C-alpha cells in the first residue's frame, strides 16, 4: 500500500540520490589525501588571527559591552520601524542592500513585512559583525585580510536568500511547480559534483553555448612557434600598413589569453590589429605532470625570452614592444630587469595591465598567502606536479562570493533554472592548472617576501634591481581592482627606474577595467604625465578624467614607440605556420581531464 502512495517526484528524487551515491563518497574522500593523511582543517591558516580577535574582545569588556549595545540598539530600531509599518504608517527602511546587491531583488523582500524584516535584520547583523571584526586590535595587515575575507564569506553564506524556506521567490516557485524546481536543482547539483569529480564545481553559464575557436577567440592568425610551455600566435593584419615595431602580449597563465579575444565586439586583439599593430600573443600551456619541474626561470627563458626571440626573427626587427597582464606583468617586469643586467635592449617599451611588482599591500589575494598556506599548497601540488584548476577558481570566486557562488546556488539548485549563456563567465569557468613549483615560488617570493621590490630577488645568475627598468612604460590600473589594487600598481611605477612613464587609472575592475572596447562607451579613465607624486591619492589630484575607454590613448602612446610603418606582415612567412589561431594549447580544458 505504501508503494502505491509514492509519487513520481519521490521516485525521481530516490533515483537521483542512488545515482549520486558514488559522488557523495568521492566528495568525502577529498578530506583524505592519497597517502591517507587527513587534509588540514584550516588551509587558510586563519585560526591564529581569529584567536587574536577573540583575545582582544575578552581582554576589553568595555568593547564587548559597546558592541552588544550597538547590536541591540539597531535591532530595537528595526523592531520599532516594523511595528509602525504594521500600524499602517509609511516608514523608510532602517537599512538597505548596498548598490548592486541582487540577492533581494524579488519584490516580496520589500512588500512582505516578514521578508522585509528578515532581510533588514540580516543586513544589520552582517554590518554589525563586519564592523566588530574590522575593529579588532593587534592584527597584522595580512591577518586583517584573512579576518575580513572569512567574515565576509560567513555573512554571505548565511544570507536568508540562500535558504529555500526563507527565500520568497524559491517558496513561490516550489509551490507553483510542485517541487519540480528542487528536483531539477538536485540534478544540477549531481551534474556539478560529477564535473568536479567529487568536488562541487558550480556551473556559472551554459557550457555548451560556447567553444573556443567556434564562437570565441576568432581573430584570424597562425601559431608560428611552440615549445613545452607556449604557443606563439601571430595575428593576420587588417590594414595595408602596420607599425614597424611589433607588439608582443604576455597574458597571465592563471587564466587563458582569449579574455582579450572573446568576440568581435570585445576583442582587444582585433582592435589592435585594426589600428595597424603587428600583434603576437603567448598562449601558455595548461600544465600537467610533465611540467612538475618547471620553474619561474623556465617560464622566463622558455616563455617570454623565447617569444621575444621568435617575434624578432619573424619580423626581422631589432626591438619589440611588450605587454604584460596580471601575473604576466610580474613576469615581464622581472624579465626586463634581468635583460637590463644582461645588457639586452631588444624591448622598446613595456605596458603593464593591472600589474604588480611591489607586494607590500597586494590586495585581497594576500589573505591566501603565508608560510603555512604555501606549505599546504605545495603539498597539494606535489602529487600531480601541478595545482588543480578548481583551487584557483575557488579562490577567485570566494572574493566575490555573492556574485560568483551564492547567486548560482540559488539559481541552479533552489530555483532549478538553467544558466544563461554569458561569454565572460564561460571564460571564467575555463580555468587552468598551475605548475606547482612556479605557483609556490610566485606566492612566496612576491606576495610573502616581496623580494623583487627589496632588491633581493636572484634569478638567472643576477640579483635583480627594479630600478634597472629604464625603457618607456605605460601602466594601466583599475579603480575597483580587488586582485591587483591600483595603489599597488602605482607603487610599482614609483619603484622602477624609467623616467618616461604614463599612468592610467581605468574604471571598473581587474577584467572590465582592461577589456573595455571604445565602441561600448563604458566607464572612464584618469591620466596625467609622470608618476612624481608620493602615492596614488596624490597622483589623482589634478589627473584628467576622460569618458570612455583608455585604448585610444594607449594606441597613440604605442604609435610613438614605433618607428614608422611598413607593409602588412603575413603570419608565419619566416617561421612557418603550425596551425590556425587560437591554437591547441588554449583548447585544453582542465575539467575534461
Catalytic residues: 326
CB proximity list for 335: less than 8 A, separation 6 or greater: 300, 304, 305
Q: What does each C-alpha distance from 459 to 145, 299, 341, 447 come to in angstroms?
A: 30, 12, 11, 17
State the helix-helix crossing angle for 47-58 and 141-157, rounded to 10 degrees.
Answer: 90
Of 352, 283, 351, 280, the closest CA to residue 317 belongs to 280
Q: With 0-12 CB in 10 A as exposed, 13-18 as middle and 19+ as buried, what is 277?
A: buried
d(CA 513, CA 526): 12
Which letter does DSSP use for residue 216 in this model?
Answer: B
CA 182 to chain centre: 31
Structure letter (DSSP) for residue 149? H
The 3-state DSSP class for residue 491 equals helix
Q: What letter would DSSP give residue 514?
A: T
Using DSSP bridges, classify how beta strands 320-325 and 347-353 pair: parallel, antiparallel or unpaired: parallel
Q: With H, G, I as helix, E, B as strand and everything else as coil, classify residue 361.
A: coil
Q: Is 513 helix (H, G, I), strand (E, B) or coil?
A: coil
DSSP β-ladder status, 230-235 and 544-547: unpaired
Which class for 25: exposed (0-12), middle (13-18), buried (19 or more C-beta within 10 A)?
Answer: exposed
CB 480 within 8 A of CB 513: yes
Surface-to-core class of residue 100, CB atoms within 10 Å of its CB (0-12 exposed, 13-18 middle, 19+ buried): exposed
CB 179 within 8 Å of CB 399:
no
Closest CA to 366 of 95, 46, 78: 46
Torsional sign, CA 402, 477, 486, 327:
positive
Of 293, 564, 353, residue with least CA distance to 478 = 353
Task: Determine the Cα–Cα distance for residues 351 and 322; give it in Å rounded to an integer.
Answer: 6
What the block records as the C-alpha cell of 283 is 598562449
Sign of the CA dihedral running 511, 516, 522, 527:
positive
3-class SS of residue 221: strand
Rounded Cα gap, residues 36 and 412, in angstroms: 34
Amino acid at each position: 500500500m505504501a508503494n502505491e502512495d509514492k509519487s513520481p517526484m519521490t521516485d525521481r528524487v530516490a533515483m537521483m540520490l542512488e545515482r549520486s551515491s558514488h559522488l557523495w563518497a568521492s566528495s568525502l574522500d577529498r578530506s583524505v589525501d592519497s597517502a591517507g593523511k587527513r587534509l588540514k582543517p584550516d588551509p587558510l591558516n586563519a585560526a591564529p588571527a581569529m584567536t587574536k580577535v577573540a583575545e582582544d574582545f575578552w581582554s576589553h569588556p568595555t568593547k564587548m559591552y559597546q558592541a552588544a549595545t550597538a547590536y541591540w540598539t539597531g535591532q530595537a530600531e528595526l523592531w520599532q520601524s516594523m511595528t509602525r509599518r504594521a500600524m499602517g504608517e509609511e516608514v523608510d527602511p532602517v537599512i538597505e542592500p548596498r548598490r548592486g546587491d541582487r540577492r533581494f531583488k524579488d519584490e516580496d523582500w520589500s512588500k512582505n513585512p516578514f521578508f522585509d524584516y528578515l532581510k533588514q535584520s540580516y543586513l544589520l547583523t552582517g554590518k554589525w559583525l563586519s564592523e566588530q571584526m574590522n575593529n579588532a586590535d593587534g592584527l597584522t595587515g595580512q591577518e586583517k585580510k584573512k579576518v575580513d575575507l572569512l567574515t565576509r564569506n560567513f555573512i554571505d553564506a548565511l544570507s536568508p536568500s540562500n535558504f529555500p524556506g526563507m527565500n520568497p521567490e524559491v517558496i513561490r516557485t516550489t509551490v507553483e511547480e510542485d517541487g519540480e524546481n528542487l528536483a531539477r536543482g538536485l540534478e544540477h547539483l549531481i551534474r556539478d559534483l560529477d564535473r568536479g569529480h567529487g568536488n562541487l564545481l558550480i556551473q556559472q553559464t551554459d557550457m555548451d553555448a560556447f567553444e573556443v575557436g567556434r564562437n570565441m577567440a576568432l581573430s584570424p592568425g597562425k601559431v608560428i612557434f611552440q615549445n613545452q610551455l607556449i604557443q606563439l600566435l601571430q595575428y593576420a593584419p587588417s590594414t595595408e600598413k602596420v607599425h614597424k615595431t611589433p607588439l608582443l602580449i604576455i597574458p597571465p597563465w592563471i587564466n587563458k589569453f582569449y579574455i582579450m579575444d572573446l568576440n568581435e565586439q570585445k576583442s582587444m586583439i582585433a582592435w589592435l590589429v585594426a589600428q595597424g599593430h603587428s600583434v603576437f600573443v603567448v598562449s601558455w600551456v595548461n600544465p600537467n605532470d610533465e611540467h612538475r619541474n618547471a620553474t619561474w626561470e623556465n617560464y622566463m627563458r622558455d616563455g617570454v625570452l623565447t617569444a621575444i626571440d621568435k617575434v624578432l626573427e619573424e619580423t626581422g626587427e631589432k626591438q619589440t614592444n611588450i605587454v604584460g597582464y596580471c601575473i604576466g606583468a610580474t613576469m615581464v617586469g622581472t624579465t626586463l630587469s634581468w635583460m637590463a643586467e644582461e645588457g639586452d635592449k631588444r624591448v622598446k617599451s613595456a605596458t603593464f595591465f593591472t600589474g604588480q611588482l611591489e607586494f607590500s599591500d597586494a590586495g585581497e589575494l594576500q589573505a591566501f598567502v603565508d608560510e603555512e598556506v604555501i606549505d599546504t599548497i605545495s603539498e597539494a601540488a606535489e602529487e600531480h606536479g601541478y595545482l588543480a584548476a578548481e583551487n584557483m577558481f575557488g579562490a577567485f570566486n570566494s572574493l566575490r562570493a555573492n556574485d560568483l557562488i551564492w547567486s548560482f546556488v540559488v539559481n541552479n539548485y533552489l530555483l532549478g533554472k538553467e544558466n544563461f549563456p554569458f561569454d565572460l563567465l564561460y571564460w571564467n569557468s575555463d580555468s587552468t592548472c598551475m605548475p606547482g613549483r612556479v605557483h609556490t615560488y610566485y606566492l612566496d617570493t612576491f606576495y610573502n617576501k616581496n623580494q623583487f621590490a627589496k632588491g633581493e630577488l636572484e634569478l638567472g645568475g643576477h640579483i635583480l634591481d627594479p630600478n634597472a627598468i629604464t625603457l618607456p612604460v605605460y601602466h594601466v590600473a583599475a579603480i575597483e581592482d580587488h586582485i591587483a589594487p591600483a595603489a599597488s600598481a602605482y607603487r610599482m611605477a614609483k619603484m622602477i627606474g624609467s623616467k618616461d612613464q604614463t599612468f592610467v587609472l581605468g574604471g571598473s575592475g581587474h577584467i572590465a577595467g582592461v577589456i573595455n572596447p571604445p565602441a561600448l562607451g563604458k566607464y572612464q579613465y584618469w591620466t596625467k604625465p609622470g608618476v612624481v607624486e608620493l602615492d596614488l591619492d596624490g597622483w589623482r589630484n589634478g589627473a584628467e578624467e576622460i569618458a570612455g575607454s583608455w585604448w585610444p590613448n594607449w594606441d597613440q602612446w604605442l604609435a610613438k614607440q614605433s618607428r614608422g610603418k611598413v607593409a602588412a606582415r603575413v603570419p608565419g612567412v619566416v617561421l612557418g605556420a603550425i596551425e590556425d589561431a587560437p591554437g591547441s594549447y588554449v583548447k585544453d580544458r582542465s575539467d575534461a581531464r
